[in-house]
Amino acid sequence: MAAPASASRRRGLPGWLRTALSVLLLAAGLAVWVALPWPGVLLLALLLAAWLWSTRGGRLALAATRIGLGSLPQRWGASSVIVVGIAGVVGVLVAMLAMGRGFEATLASTGDDRTAIVLRGGSQAETNSVITREQVPLLATLPGVARDAQGRPLLSAELSQVVNLVSKSEGLDVNAQFRGVGPLAWAVHEKVRIVQGRRFRPGLNEIVVGLGAQNQFRGLEVGDTLQLGKQRWTVVGAFASGDAHESELWTDAETLAAAAAHSIFQSISVRTAGPADYARFKAAVEADLRLKLDVATTREYYRRQAGGLSTLIDVLGKVIGTIMAVGAVFGALNTMYAAVATRAREIATMRAIGFRGLPVVVAIMLETMLLALAGGALGGLVAWLIFNNYSVSTLGSNFSQVVFQFRVSPELLWNGLKWALGIGLVGGLFPALRAAQLPVTAALRET
């Protein structure tokens, strides 16, 4: 009998290839599991529960799981390695993704579909756009531009400068955006409202600051004076907008242009009455060969600016989470292999009295996944307590410092739990298979 078995092994796949295929299958299964929507997870949970409660093998698996969980206090030190390791993975993953979600949400909430932003043709951002003064009155006469009660076109010619401020947290020089706006900017940017002090007065070196900038940088309290370039400016008010503008400092565009020795603008914000008027305005700009300007809604513009960085943060978070997950899987493997070894006689006794291989495998995996679930819940809770609504600022290529808040959403917490259960599934599989294949007679002789 030995020769045929040996010949069969020689004809089979090499050991290294079988291992590689197993790893690839596990990786593919884990990827499918992480991408599975909640109805799919619910369906799998219902199927597992039905099997556990309605079949003899399932009831044996539940009994074996209760025995294993009952012995956890005797090996809590080793089991805590799984909980803490997976909590670390989930905490870091959720925090990284919450940063990306927060940045994306801040820029996506900036602007709306009724406000147009006009840039030089081919410009991707305000920083590399140039609009001449002669073009501003031409834009004001185009169809689709909304007007106020006095009949004035709701248009704001704007100029943006990068200035150095000192961060409150680290005391380092960082970039901030100093924006000059037109007299009707308050009507064009409807979300912006003064919450402290008053508006700046045109022609004077007065500024108002966003609450986000005020919380992140020094010297921006109402009444403070600060040196920006060669000029001294007085903070006369603070505004809230709930979007990226809260990271900025605002003043009169003509005053800023004179201080910076500029004779041009960089962008024009135009208020329209609705989608139809926006379409009319955009078509009129494109049809006027004198302008050579591009038009987009402010919502579209800021969403486009957010795309690159938020995608980078999202990918980086998943890469870091994957690397940490690999470490957590090895930690779970070592812990569960040690648990199987210390419980060898217990497992062998269960098998001797009628527990077959499948209930034992399911019991070991359920135990590991319950520990993983505890770790995932702990990591998600820590991430939510520490990072949810935590304000930070980031240096973007087009926006200088943008102040935003981490967004730890239920969706991210759910994804973190799925990662935790996936790690538990992979970490418990091989120890469970070893427990099911453990020779009963040899295990009963172990001490």
Q: Is 25 a member of any domain?
A: no
- pLDDT (mean) for 403-425: 85
Quick count: other Cβ atoms within 10 Å of Cβ 1?
A: 5
First-to-last alpha carbon distance for the chain, in angstroms, is 33
Contact 267, 180 (CB under 8 A): no
The residue assigned the tokens 């790690």 is: 423
If asked whether residues 263 and 136 sit together in one domain, one would say: yes
Among residues 411, 342, 409, 327, which one has the least CA distance to residue 375? 327
If asked whether residues 140 and 259 sit together in one domain, one would say: yes
**CB-based burial label for 2 (10 Å; 0-12, 13-18, 19+):** exposed
Q: Is 21 a member of any domain?
A: no
- What pLDDT does residue 306 have? 66
- What pLDDT does residue 445 have? 60
- What pLDDT does residue 340 have? 67
Residue 430 to residues 361, 368, 425: CA-CA distances in angstroms?
Answer: 9, 11, 9
If asked whether residues 367 and 338 sit together in one domain, one would say: yes
- What pLDDT does residue 124 have? 82
Cβ neighbours of residue 324 closer than 8 Å, sequence gap 6 or more: 88, 89, 92, 93
* DSSP letter string, 119-157: EETT-SSGGG--B-TTHHHHHHTSTTB-B-TT--B-EEE
DSSP state for residue 201 in the 8-state scheme: P
pLDDT averaged over every residue in the chain: 82
Share of the chain above pLDDT 90, in %: 28
pLDDT at 398 over 70: no
If asked whether residues 100 and 146 sit together in one domain, one would say: no
- What pLDDT does residue 310 have? 66
- pLDDT (mean) for 181-206: 93
Q: Is 60 a member of any domain?
A: yes
pTM: 0.67
SS (H, E, C) 159-184: EEEEEEEEECCCCCEEEEEEEEECCC
Measured on CA atoms in the order 230, 236, 240, 241, is the torsion positive or negative? Answer: negative
Q: Is 269 a member of any domain?
A: yes
Among residues 405, 407, 361, which one has the least CA distance to residue 383? 407
The residue assigned the tokens 């020769």 is: 3
Domain end residue (candidates: 291, 320, 348): 291
If asked whether residues 137 and 271 sit together in one domain, one would say: yes
If asked whether residues 193 and 270 sit together in one domain, one would say: yes
Which contiguous run of DSSP H or E holds residue 297?
strand 293-297
Contact 206, 200 (CB under 8 A): yes
Share of the chain above pLDDT 70, in %: 84
If asked whether residues 153 and 194 sit together in one domain, one would say: yes
Q: What is the dihedral of CA 30, 32, 38, 44, to 10 degrees?
A: -80
- What pLDDT does residue 139 have? 92
CA distance 443 to 420: 31
Among residues 397, 145, 107, which one has the least CA distance to residue 268? 145
The residue assigned the tokens 């938020």 is: 310
- pLDDT (mean) for 145-171: 89
Q: Is 221 a member of any domain?
A: yes
pLDDT band at 378 (very low <50, low <70, confident <90, very high): very high
If asked whether residues 270 and 337 sit together in one domain, one would say: no
Which contiguous run of DSSP H or E holds residue 208?
strand 206-210
Domain end residue (candidates: 241, 260, 291): 291
Q: Is 116 a member of any domain?
A: no
pLDDT band at 6 (very low <50, low <70, confident <90, very high): very low
Contact 86, 375 (CB under 8 A): yes
Among residues 115, 71, 107, which one has the least CA distance to residue 371? 71
CA distance 306 to 308: 6
- Residues spanned by the domain of 284: 122-291
If asked whether residues 268 and 316 sit together in one domain, one would say: no
> Using one digit for the tens of pLDDT, what is the confidence trace for 224-255?
999 887 889 999 999 998 888 888 999 999 99
Q: Is 298 a member of any domain?
A: no
pLDDT at 141 over 80: yes
Among residues 192, 95, 174, which one has the least CA distance to residue 389? 95
Q: Is 115 a member of any domain?
A: no
If asked whether residues 147 and 275 sit together in one domain, one would say: yes
Domain end residue (candidates: 291, 319, 347): 291
> Using one digit for the tens of pLDDT, what is the confidence trace for 85-105?
888 888 888 888 888 777 777
Q: How many domains does the chain have?
A: 2
- pLDDT (mean) for 381-405: 71
If asked whether residues 237 and 212 sit together in one domain, one would say: yes
If asked whether residues 262 and 330 sit together in one domain, one would say: no
Helix and strand numbers, DSSP H then E, in the chain: 15, 12
- pLDDT (mean) for 369-390: 89
Contact 396, 305 (CB under 8 A): yes
Q: Tell which wins on pLDDT, 211 or 360.
A: 211
CA neighbours closer than 13 Å in the CB half-sphere of residue 302:
22
